[in-house]
Chain A
Amino acid sequence: MANEVILLDFWPSMFGMRTRIALREKGVEFEYREEDLRNKSPLLLQMNPVHKKIPVLIHNGKSVNESIIQVQYIDEVWSHKNPLLPSDPYLKAQARFWADFIDKKMDDAQRKVWATKGEEQEAGKKEFIEILKTLETELGDKPYFAGDDFGYVDIALIGYYTWFPAYEKYGNFSIESECPKLIAWAKKCLERETVAKSLPDPEKVIGFVSELRKRFGLE
């Protein structure tokens, strides 16, 4: 049976970027469909009735939801190429732990950096830098989080990199001066075609964030 893969997505979403990268890492042809989040398609609402969110991966008519679950699914279905997770149970548990850390901590903290001001923003910046420093420590001197091979944790994190210039602009700080190793890691990830093709231009992301800030009354 032919593999029909559709991805319902929204171009600036760091979560959507994870799934795009995973599919490309496996060489999977897929149809990318842009969603208007203020006017969600009937297909989106049908395929993700519980959360009504992107990304939604539709494989041969069946939906898989939540980006980190999609990455694991893609790894298991197209298991013959570029494994994204280690096979050893302990190393796999380590990878899951760090992806979970990113999921639990990054989203709220990064939002405070661009979507708030004053004291709340300063607190958000501090928290955000702490999280990045923790990740940088975990990376250590390894080229990628799991070691020599690009994988699960790299995929979970790299999407946020396209938002870094927006954080720096609205938070008025330099991420590279705080976390040079993490920036070096990100630049290395961007050298992979699968990543470069899946991440939008950071300038476009700044424009998008600027629009949101106007809508929230921050500009």
Chain B
Amino acid sequence: MASQPILLDYWPSIFGMRARVALREKGVEFEYKVGDLTNKSPLLLQSNPIHKKIPVLIHNGKPVCESLNVVHYVDEAWPDKNPFFPSDPYGRAHARFWDDFVDKKFSEAQFKIWGKKGEEQEEGKKEFIEAVKILESELGDKPYFGGDGFGYVDISLIPFYSWFPAYERFGNFSIEAESPKLIAWAKMCMEKESVSKSLPDSEKIVAYAAEFRKNSLGSE
């Protein structure tokens, strides 16, 4: 008999949050193991020997690594509830494209805002705002990126929302002023229990980012 899946994770990780949201969307009970990334567990190193990173989903003893891969896998392993993708190949390719955009453009830019300062940070802010506007344009008037249903692109993007107050604090700007539609979308996602249960309190993330900045940049 299959045992509960295990999710190896780290509480502030955007990538971990994607996996949490995906599992909860499918109503899957899972064992959540929060790690210490400065002292990685033998289970993590054994389950993801190539990248040694979280999240790792261990299902029936077999590991699945890389957050978007985990989300795909969860959708396919529990296909009966809340599909994350449309059924037509073009719709699926479209979702994968936007997901790839989030990972390529959004993800890198946001790190520069909270993890860097000076010119690099300013560059990050500019890139981030550009990416946000492109995403907002893609969202259009749809309730979710997936259309009427919460789906793959929503799952890959919503975790960043828990970091928005940190970006605003350290980047000294207002994301809502730049992109009100995206904020409205995010608030709507947060009304879903699968999302609100999976994202940490933003104040904790601000404090986490502040610590990181003190340690790596010498000041906040």
Contacts and interface: CB of A to CB of B under 8 A. Distances in A.
Interface of A: 50, 59, 62, 64-66, 69-70, 72-73, 76-77, 89-90, 92-93, 96-97, 100-101, 134
Nearest to B134: A50
Given A69-B97, A92-B72, A100-B69, 16 more contacts: A64-B90, A65-B97, A66-B100, A72-B93, A73-B89, A73-B90, A76-B89, A77-B89, A89-B76, A92-B76, A93-B70, A93-B73, A96-B69, A96-B72, A100-B66, A101-B50
B2 interface: no
Contacts of B64: 90, 93, 97
Interface in B74-101: 76-77, 89-90, 92-93, 96-97, 100-101
Contacts of B65: 97
Nearest to B75: A89
A14 B72 CA distance: 25
Interface of B: 50, 59-60, 62, 64-66, 69-70, 72-73, 76-77, 89-90, 92-93, 96-97, 100-101, 134
B93 A134 contact: no
Contacts of A90: 59-60, 62, 64, 73, 77
A64 B64 CA distance: 27
A73 B100 CA distance: 14
Judged by DSSP, the binding face of A is helix
Contacts of B77: 89-90
B111 to A, nearest CB: 16
Contacts of A72: 92-93, 96
Contacts of B72: 92-93, 96
Given A89-B77, A90-B64, A97-B66, A76 B92 contact: yes
19 contacts: A59-B90, A64-B97, A69-B93, A69-B100, A72-B93, A73-B93, A76-B92, A89-B76, A90-B59, A90-B73, A92-B72, A93-B64, A93-B69, A93-B70, A93-B73, A93-B76, A97-B66, A100-B69, A134-B50
Nearest to A48: B97
A164 to B, nearest CB: 22
A139 B77 CA distance: 25
A124 B92 CA distance: 36
A90 B2 CA distance: 15
Nearest to B89: A76
The list of the 6 closest CB pairs from A to B, nearest first, reads A89-B76, A76-B89, A73-B93, A93-B73, A69-B96, A64-B93
Contacts of A100: 66, 69
Contacts of B69: 93, 96-97, 100
Nearest to B95: A69
Contact of B101 (A50, A73, A97, A101): A50
A72 B89 CA distance: 9
Contacts of B62: 90
A62 B88 CA distance: 13
B129 to A, nearest CB: 15
Contacts of A65: 97
A62 B90 contact: yes
B98 to A, nearest CB: 9
A134 B201 CA distance: 39
Nearest to B76: A89
A89 B73 contact: yes
A188 to B, nearest CB: 24
Nearest to B60: A90
Contacts of A66: 96-97, 100
